[in-house]
C-alpha cells in the first residue's frame, strides 16, 4: 500500500456516538409529532447503522424516513413547516450535533492517532474522506488536522459535485489528489455505507473498524479485515 484513506467519525474520532445521539433527538421529536402512527423511536444502533451512518446528511434523512414509510418534501414550500422537510430535519440534526460537540468536546481514538503517525513515519500518503460538513472543525478540535495531506468532506464534495458514500467517488477523488491509483490505497471505514464505497472503488484493501459489534455486517459488505481499533494493525511491527 502507498496511501491510507481514513473515514473521520468513528474511525479517527469518537464522534459516531454523538452523530447517533443528534439523529435520535431529531427523528424522535419528528416521529412523536406524527399523528395516527404508533411512536417507534429511532434506534441509535440498528437504525443508525442501516440508514444514516456514513451517508451524506440528506440521504440519511430520506433513507431512514423511507424505512418508516414516510416521504417528505426536500425543502420548505408554502404551508410546509420547515422541520417537516428533508433539509429542515438535516439542519436540525446539525444544530444538535454542533451543540453536543461543543458540550462534550471531540476526542481522537488514541490507537488511531498512533496508527496514523506510524503510517506517516512509513512515508505512506494520508487523506481524510468524510461525509461530514464539519470535518475540518472536528479535525482541529481533535488536534489531528496536521496528520493528513488531503481532505475530502461534504463541503468539497458538494463544490465538486461528487456523489457521497456508498458511492466511491469521494474516496477516488482523495486517491487522485494524492496521486495514487486505487489499488495502492487502503480504506478505513466504520460504516456499512463507507465499506460499500471502498469495495465499489476497487481499492487495494478495505479495513472495517468495528466500534459497535457489527463485525459480521462489515465483512458482509466487503471489508477484507475487521479490527476493533487501528492499534491492532500495529501489533506485528511494535
Ligand atoms: Mg464513520
pLDDT value of residue 35: 76
Give 8's DSSP letter. S
Q: How far is the CA of 2 from the centre of ligand 1 (A)?
A: 22
Ligand 1 centre and the CA of 189: distance in Å? 6
Residue 7 known to be catalytic: yes
Structural contact between residues 166 and 194, judged by C-beta atoms closer than 8 angstroms:
yes
Q: Which of 236, 35, 7, 31 is nearest to 116 (CA)?
A: 7
Q: How far apart are CA 26 and CA 87, in angstroms?
A: 12
How many other C-beta atoms are found inside a 10 Å radius of the C-beta of residue 23?
27
For residue 25, how far is the Cα from the chain centroid? 18
Q: What is the pLDDT along the chain (238 residues), one digit of tens a residue?
A: 999 999 999 999 999 999 999 999 999 999 999 877 789 999 999 999 999 999 999 999 999 999 999 999 998 776 677 788 999 999 999 999 999 998 999 999 999 999 999 999 999 999 999 999 999 999 999 999 999 999 999 999 999 999 999 999 999 999 999 999 999 999 999 999 999 999 999 999 999 999 999 999 999 999 999 999 999 999 754 4
Going from the Cα of 119 to the center of ligand 1, the distance in angstroms, rounded, reads: 20
Residues 11, 209: contact at Cβ < 8 Å? yes
Q: Is 224 a catalytic residue?
A: no
Q: Rounded to two decimals, what is the model's pTM?
A: 0.91
For residues 118 and 238, give the distance between their C-alpha atoms in angstroms, rounded to a whole number. Answer: 10
Q: What pLDDT does 40 receive?
A: 94
Amino acid at each position: 500500500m502507498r496511501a491510507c484513506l481514513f473515514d473521520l467519525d468513528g474511525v479517527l474520532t469518537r464522534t459516531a456516538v454523538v452523530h447517533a445521539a443528534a439523529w435520535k433527538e431529531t427523528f424522535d421529536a419528528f416521529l412523536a409529532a406524527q399523528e395516527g402512527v404508533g411512536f417507534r423511536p429511532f434506534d441509535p444502533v440498528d437504525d443508525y447503522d442501516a440508514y444514516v451512518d456514513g451517508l451524506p446528511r440528506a440521504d440519511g434523512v430520506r433513507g431512514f424516513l423511507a424505512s418508516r414509510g414516510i416521504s417528505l418534501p426536500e425543502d420548505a414550500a408554502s404551508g410546509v413547516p420547515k422541520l417537516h422537510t428533508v433539509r429542515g430535519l438535516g439542519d436540525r440534526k446539525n444544530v444538535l450535533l454542533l451543540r453536543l460537540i461543543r458540550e462534550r468536546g471531540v476526542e481522537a481514538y488514541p490507537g488511531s492517532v498512533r496508527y496514523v503517525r506510524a503510517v506517516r513515519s512509513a512515508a505512506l500518503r494520508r487523506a481524510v474522506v468524510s461525509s461530514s460538513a464539519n470535518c475540518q472543525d472536528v479535525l482541529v478540535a481533535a488536534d489531528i488536522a496536521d496528520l493528513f495531506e488531503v481532505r475530502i468532506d461534504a463541503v468539497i464534495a458538494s463544490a465538486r459535485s461528487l456523489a457521497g458514500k456508498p458511492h466511491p467517488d469521494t474516496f477516488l477523488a482523495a486517491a487522485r489528489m494524492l496521486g495514487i491509483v486505487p489499488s495502492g490505497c487502503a480504506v478505513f471505514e466504520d460504516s456499512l455505507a463507507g465499506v460499500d464505497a471502498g469495495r465499489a472503488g476497487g481499492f487495494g484493501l478495505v479495513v472495517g473498524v468495528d466500534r459497535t459489534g457489527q463485525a459480521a455486517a462489515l465483512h458482509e459488505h466487503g471489508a477484507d479485515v475487521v479490527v476493533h481499533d487501528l492499534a491492532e494493525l500495529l501489533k506485528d511491527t511494535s
